[in-house]
């Protein structure tokens, strides 16, 4: 099963100065070794946004190029909008990026690897599968 790696997991692995053995980082390493990771352009953008040092930005940008962007389709964007509307009716809010991640995951039978609690709420209303940690 392929897994969309959310920004929160990449951040644990790549943007922390002190490398700790978070269980999520170890699981990410296994997914990378097994070629199961899915990268979305919007996630790449989030990872790279806000990096203050240009040298760090360049290093991280080069590292992430090893993970090609999965092609997001018009259907994915339409599904994301549908998910937004479903959740809004239920009083649930999330970012457009989160809805797009959910749409790509559902449309392609991918799981989502995240530690962002918003996805636990979204899965109550959307048919998403979260990567079992």
Distance from C-alpha of 105 to C-alpha of 95, rounded to nearest angstrom: 16
Average pLDDT over residues 34-63: 95
Burial label, 77 (beta-carbon count in 10 A; 0-12, 13-18, 19+): middle
pTM for this one?
0.93
d(CA 126, CA 122): 6
> Residue 112, exposed/middle/buried by CB under 10 A (0-12, 13-18, 19+)?
buried
Question: What pLDDT is stored for residue 22 in this prediction?
Answer: 81
Query: Which pLDDT value is given to residue 108?
Result: 98
Spell out the domain ranges in the chain: 1-133
Q: Which of 132, 122, 75, 120 is nearest to 99 (CA)?
A: 122
- The helix or strand, by DSSP H or E, that contains position 111, with its residue range, turns out to be strand 111-113
pLDDT digits (tens, 9 = 90+) for 70-120: 999 999 999 999 999 999 999 999 999 999 999 999 999 999 999 999 999
pLDDT of residue 17: 59
Say if domain 1-133 classifies as CATH 3.40.50.1010: yes
Instruction: Report which of 31, 6, 44 is spatially closest to residue 120, judged by C-alpha positions.
Output: 6
The CA distances from residue 90 to 44, 71, 86, 119, in Å, are 30, 30, 7, 15
């Amino acid at each position: 099963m392929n897994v969309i790696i959310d920004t929160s997991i990449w951040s644990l692995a790549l943007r922390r100065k002190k490398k700790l053995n978070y269980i999520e980082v170890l699981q990410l390493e296994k997914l990378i070794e097994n070629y199961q990771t899915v990268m979305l352009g919007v996630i790449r953008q989030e990872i790279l946004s806000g990096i203050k040092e240009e040298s760090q930005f360049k290093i991280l940008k080069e590292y992430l190029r090893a993970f090609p962007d999965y092609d997001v389709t018009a259907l994915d964007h339409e599904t994301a909008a549908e998910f937004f509307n479903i959740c809004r009716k239920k009083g649930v809010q999330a970012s457009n990026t989160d809805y797009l991640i959910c749409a790509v995951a559902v449309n392609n039978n991918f799981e989502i690897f995240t530690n962002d609690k918003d996805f636990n709420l979204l899965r109550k209303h959307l048919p998403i599968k979260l990567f079992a940690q």
